[in-house]
Each structure stands twice: as structure tokens, then as C-alpha cells.
Structure 1
Amino acid sequence: MIADRKDDHVRHAVNQHRDGSNDFDSVTFVHHALAGIDSQDVSLAVDFAGKRWDTPLFVNGMTGGSPNTGEINRQLAIAARETGVPIASGSMSAYFRDDAVADTYRVLRQENPHGYVMANVNATATVDQVRRAIDLLEADAVQIHLNAVQEIVMPEGDRSFGSWPRQIEQIAAQVPVPVVVKEVGFGLSRQTVSWLRDAGVAVADVGGRGGTNFARIENDRRSAADFAFLESWGQSTPNCLVDCAGVTGIDIVASGGIRTPLDVARALALGANATGVAGVFLETLVRKDTAALVETIRTWLDQLRHILTVLGASTPADLAGCDLLLTGDVATFCGLRGIDAASYAHRNLWWSESERPQRSHP
């Protein structure tokens, strides 16, 4: 049954449309026509949980647990290896129930022996189970996914979530690698991220609404499809990022609804250390092939470098100094949460009096 569910998740995720609008469209860079720099001076390197990544882009957790999803993981791992981007596994709960599916996850490390690989567990996993997952993948970090809304809609899902905070604290205190806590598409609030930091979590992946919709996926699996009213639940990724601005002591990662390299730049400008992509990459792989996914990732990285060049950002972290116009639902969210949306439009570092380019004189 678990293998069937994993295959269902992939099928429904691929069939969801990801080329529509979302809240990233309410985030616009102010164009300063003389802010550009030389592309050769741009580095895409970022810091993630005490490590240096060559890129702010990674392949986020998707799947595993069946022969079909094991093959998808193999191809994702090859794409990560060929492009140098980090990669996360899908939920390893199926492995905890049945050792026979171990290879559908282990292939991520077998095909990508020198890459940065993250294991992925749910918040009910014991410390011993998390250690098993880390050992299986020789993982550099472990993700704990939060998916209470998905579980509620899932016909066979969990209905008990009260132990999650205690489990997260225990895992963060006892495992040998950094812990990343991520939502699966419903977002992390400022209060949640602050709690995670205090619990010893290294990275919070806000995992906001706007990408793969697991409430819709699970509702599609129900015979009556009677949970459609939850399909718009949660906060979008841009709203999560502005909500978490100012929370220090924990790295912030953005995933959920990232459709293009411009969305990557927008997320970084809103304060993310790095960005995870799942849906777009999965669709490219399933509808085309591994070579197409490799080309897509390489193109994204090249285009992201071009965007930083035009904006005058020599690193992804510099994007946090770019002027942004927050409009639409993002501006509304800011107003209701007491966030000064207008301040994002007046923060450019390159055009202060001390930094402004000087006229040359003969």
C-alpha cells in the first residue's frame, strides 16, 4: 500500500499545473540601470548549516519507497551529480517499515558519492530511525518534514501531532548531522521558526504554498474528494519569508512554488540562504529524461548568475540589499502581520551616497 501511495504522489504531482501565478509574482525588483557588474565577479556560493555550497539551488525531497520511485531517485541523483547541486531524499518512512525498499533511497548516494545528500524523515521518527536513515545515505544533513495538513486529508494518515515538538528536540540534540525542518507546502510562521531555532534546529525550510499541493494530491486519492476546502490552506513562500525576516540564529531556506531562476532570486532577496526545487524538476524528468533535467539545472544556474549580474549582486547574499516592490497578497499579508512592506523598496546598497559610482573626468 505504501508503494502504491508513493507512485500516486508522483503521478498526481506531475499532473498538477505549475506554470500559473503565485505570490512570487507580487515580488518585483526595482531596476537600477547602472547597478550592473561584471558576470565574472559573481559567485553563486552560499552558506548552509555551516557548510559552503557552490550554488543556492538544490533538488528538494520528492520520493522513494517503490521500484518506480527508486528509478526516479536514481535519475535525480545523476542530475545532482552532473550539476553539483545538493539533493534531498523523499520521506524515508517506507524504509522504516520495510528494509526491502532501502535501495530506492540508497541510490541517491550510490549515484552521487561525493555530493551533498540529505535524508528525509517525518516528525514521528525515533532517534534510532533517524540514525538509520543517515547511515543508509551517508547523509550530510537530515530533513524532518512537517505535514499535518497532508496527514489529515490522507485517508490513511496520522491524526496525532502532539509529540512532534518533543521528537524534533530529541533528534536535534542527538543526531550527528545538522537538522533541517521543512514544511511540505503549507508554510512556516515566524513563531514556528523561532521555536525551531530555540530547539536546536540548524535550518528551517519554509516550504510555503504555491508549488506541489499535497492537500490536493491526498484529496484526489479520496473516493469522495471531500477535502477540497483545504487546498488553499497555509502561507505562501514569499509570505513566510517576509514573516521570518529578522529571526536570527537559524538558516532560512525557501521552497514551494519556485518556477524559474527569477523566483530563486526573489526568494534569496527576501532572506533565504538557499532555495529548494522539486515540482518543476520532477516534471522535467518524468515528461522528458535525465539529460533534459541536467540541462534545465545548468540553464537555471547560468540564468541566475545573469540576474545577479544585472542587479549588481556579487553573491546571493547581496540580493538582500536589493530594492523590492511588494504588492498584491504579499503586501496585504505584511500589513496584517505588522511588517513594513515599503521598507523593502528602499534598501539598495549600491546607490547610497558613499557607494554611488562617481563620474569620471578627463
Structure 2
Amino acid sequence: MSSQRKDQHVDLAAAQQADRPPRNDFDDIHFVHHALAGIDRAGVSLATDVADAGWIAPLYINGMTGGSARTGEINRALAVAARETGVAIASGSMSIALREPDTIPSFRVLRDENPDGFVMANLSADADPDDARRAVDLLGADALQLHVNSVQETVMPEGSRGFSAWPAAIEAIVRAVDVPVVVKEVGFGLSRPTLALLADLGVRLADVSGSGGTDFARIENSRRAVADYAFMAGWGQSAACCLLDAATPADGVRMPVLLASGGVRTPLDVMRALALGARAVGVSGVFLQAVLRGGEDALIGLIRAWLEQLAQLHALLGASAPAALTTTDLLLRGDVREFCALRGIDAAAYSARSAQTRKYR
């Protein structure tokens, strides 16, 4: 049944990509165009530092799947694409591999096909430290993602109904493993207080993984005998709103280094997330669709095109590196602006961050 559920998730996620809404909160983020701000493409480096390692670009293939023969083939294609393009990659949840050893190859292929790449293992936040160490060892992982998915579990027919032990479990795992831990949502967002709590638990990296992409509440509702949780569709905050929320902590409150995912459709969405403070941006749905349509070659071509487009967009905006995007001018509109108003965030300040604006306005 667990392997069957993994295959169901792939099909339902792919179906959502086919009929996904035409817009999300990233569309409320606009760069102010300064026509003389550009630099040469040759002067741009996409390199960034994440999880104690240098990445060639602020882009990674986020956790998707594993646990069946079919998903093992998908993971093989994802791993080959990561190897050929140099981007980091994360596995899907490996809980099934710890329970059912015959599914291990469907995850291990991520390392077998990508021996020198940056690979992240993935487990639920309620795992115990021994399981966390096993998952890291199985992949020779460079980091461990711990996913928090209380919304998904609530709607999932066979899901967990107890979440109070998760903070203590996360803290124990952070202390137990020898690799960086990334705590990520699965598409419902990490709020400012949640991020502050994670920092207090010792977590140094967090993927805000907001709404606007694959909706696991919809997926799990589709698996119910009676689809009686349809009202949960759209729950949570977008990645854009989470990044804005995290940028305004109370005095003395620490925050983890932020990654972003959820609803990333284009290189422009990657740029928007970076400009809002993400160190790197993960993509799942669009990359999964590429693999399902054309296999590893299609995904390799897509990622290479995205990397070149990211570099060109950096040059257009006058940003020699991803970190420089945090000083670009942004106009926050629509639902995102309303979120800022309700959360006490100064949206207008984002429109006047650059040297061009400060000097000549």
C-alpha cells in the first residue's frame, strides 16, 4: 500500500501541474526596471553557499518521490539531470525505505547516478535520531531535510493525528546527525514564529515551501473515500509571504538561513524569491512534468536553460551574484501587499532598496 500511495502521489501531483491556477503570489512581486542599471553577463556568478557547501547556482531539485519501481525510475532521471547540470537534489520521504528495505534502491539511485553531487535525504519531522542517521547513511547525504506536513497528515486518510512531539524530535535529530538539517514545509508555508522556534531548536536552514504549487491537501482529499476535506484546498501562506514575514523578526530573534519553494514556475519566480531573501530556490512540479514528458534529457535541457536565463536576469538587474538581488527595488501588489499590511510589514520600503532609487529619487 505504501508503494501504491507513492505512485498515486506522482499521478495526482502531475495532474495538478496540468490544471494549476494561472497565477500565484509570485505574480504580485514586480521588479522596478532601471534601464541603466545592467551589467555584463560575463560579470555574473550564480554561485552561492548553502548547508556548508558551495553550490554552482541558487537552484535545486526539491524532494519529490521514491518508494516504488516507477518512482525509482523518476528518481534516476532526476539524479542524472542533477549530475549533468551540477544542481543540488533532495529525495522524497525515505520513511518507507526504513520500513521496507526492498524500496531502498528507488532512493539510493539518487547517489548512485550522482556520486559527486550535493544530495539531501528526507524524512518526516517525527522520525527518531537513529532513523535520521540511517537515512543520511543510505544516501551518503550531504544534508537532511525534515519535512513538516501537519496539514497533509490531517487530510490523509491514514495520516498522523498527533503533532505535539515534533519540536522535540527536530531538536533531537539536529543534535544527532553530522550533516546540516533543513526543515521544510510541504506547501503550506513556515510563519515567522515557526522559523524563530526552529532557530531556537538549533535548525540553521529552513525551506519555507509555501502554497501556490502542489497542494497536498487536495492530493490527500482525492484519496479519501469521500472527498470531504475539499475546504482545505489553498491552506497556508505562499513562499513570497513567508519570506516577507521572516524578514521582520522582533529584536533579538534569530532566524535560520532561508530556502524557498512552492509554486516556482519560471526563472523569474526564482529571482523573486532570491530578491525576498532566499539563499536558494527549490523546484518540484515543473521539473517533474519535464521528466514525465521527456525523461532526463528534457529536464537537463530545461535546467540548463533556466541557469542561463537566471544569469541573464541577474545582469539585467545589475546583480553580480544572487545575494545582490536583496538590494533590488520591488513593488509588492495585490494579495501580497494585503498580507504585508495585516502582518505589519512595510511593503513600500521594498520599492526603494537600490542605490539608483536612493540616489536619484
TM range (shorter): over 0.9
Structure 1 residue runs of 4 or more that deviate by more than 6 Å after TM superposition: none
Shift of 1:350: 4.7
Q: Secondary structure at the match of 2:355?
A: coil
Match of 2:113 in 1: 111
Match of 2:263 in 1: 257
Match of 2:220 in 1: 218
Match of 2:241 in 1: 239
1:147 matches 2:149: yes
**Which residue of 37, 40, 43 corresponds with 1:38?**
40
Q: Distance in 2 between matches of 1:108 and 1:258?
A: 22
The one-letter amino acid paired with 1:258 is: V
The 8 Å contact of residues 91 and 120 in structure 1, kept in 2 or not, is answered as: yes
Q: Secondary structure at the match of 1:288?
A: helix
- Out of 123-132 and 16-25, give the one that drifted further: 16-25
Q: Distance in 2 between matches of 1:151 and 1:286?
A: 26
Deviations 1:280-323 (A, max 9, x none): 00011112221011000000010011111100000010000000
Q: Distance in 1 between matches of 2:148 and 2:176?
A: 19
The one-letter amino acid paired with 2:332 is: L
Match of 1:300 in 2: 306
Match of 1:3 in 2: 3
**Which residue of 70, 89, 92 corresponds with 2:91?**
89
Percent of matched pairs sharing the same residue: 59
The one-letter amino acid paired with 1:110 is: D
Q: Distance in 2 between matches of 1:18 and 1:313?
A: 31
Q: Distance in 1 between matches of 2:216 and 2:106?
A: 22
Superposition pairs for residues 313-328 of structure 1, below 5 Å? 313-328=319-334
The one-letter amino acid paired with 2:164 is: G
Superposition pairs for residues 125-144 of structure 1, below 5 Å? 125-144=127-146
Shift of 1:98: 0.7
**Which residue of 99, 102, 126 corresponds with 1:100?**
102
Shift of 1:19: 6.2
Deviations 1:231-254 (A, max 9, x none): 111001110010011455521001
The one-letter amino acid paired with 1:210 is: G
The 8 Å contact of residues 76 and 109 in structure 2, kept in 1 or not, is answered as: yes
Shift of 1:115: 0.1
| TM score, norm. by length of structure 1 | 0.96
The 8 Å contact of residues 210 and 237 in structure 2, kept in 1 or not, is answered as: yes
Gaps of 5+ in 1: 357-362
The 8 Å contact of residues 152 and 158 in structure 1, kept in 2 or not, is answered as: yes
1:269 matches 2:275: yes
Q: Distance in 2 between matches of 1:55 and 1:325?
A: 25
Match of 1:60 in 2: 62
Q: Secondary structure at the match of 1:58?
A: strand
Deviations 1:33-59 (A, max 9, x none): 000000000000111122211100000
Shift of 1:70: 0.6
Q: Distance in 1 between matches of 2:192 and 2:321?
A: 26
The one-letter amino acid paired with 1:336 is: L
The 8 Å contact of residues 325 and 345 in structure 1, kept in 2 or not, is answered as: yes
The one-letter amino acid paired with 1:318 is: A
- Out of 125-134 and 240-249, give the one that drifted further: 240-249
Match of 2:161 in 1: 159
Q: Secondary structure at the match of 1:159?
A: coil
Q: Distance in 2 between matches of 1:172 and 1:115?
A: 22
Q: Distance in 2 between matches of 1:232 and 1:278?
A: 18
Superposition pairs for residues 193-232 of structure 1, below 5 Å? 193-232=195-234
The one-letter amino acid paired with 1:93 is: S
The one-letter amino acid paired with 1:13 is: A
**Which residue of 320, 326, 330 corresponds with 2:336?**
330
Q: Secondary structure at the match of 1:204?
A: strand
The 8 Å contact of residues 18 and 259 in structure 1, kept in 2 or not, is answered as: no
The 8 Å contact of residues 195 and 255 in structure 2, kept in 1 or not, is answered as: no
Shift of 1:18: 3.7
Aligned length: 354
The one-letter amino acid paired with 1:302 is: E
The 8 Å contact of residues 312 and 350 in structure 1, kept in 2 or not, is answered as: no
The one-letter amino acid paired with 1:319 is: L
The 8 Å contact of residues 49 and 251 in structure 1, kept in 2 or not, is answered as: no
Specify whether residues 19 and 75 from structure 1 end up closer, same or farther in structure 2 by C-alpha distance, changes over 3 A only: farther
The 8 Å contact of residues 210 and 238 in structure 2, kept in 1 or not, is answered as: yes
| TM score, norm. by length of structure 2 | 0.96
Q: Distance in 1 between matches of 2:355 and 2:126?
A: 44
Match of 1:359 in 2: none
The one-letter amino acid paired with 1:205 is: D
Q: Distance in 2 between matches of 1:38 and 1:279?
A: 32
The 8 Å contact of residues 94 and 135 in structure 2, kept in 1 or not, is answered as: yes
Q: Distance in 2 between matches of 1:336 and 1:49?
A: 33
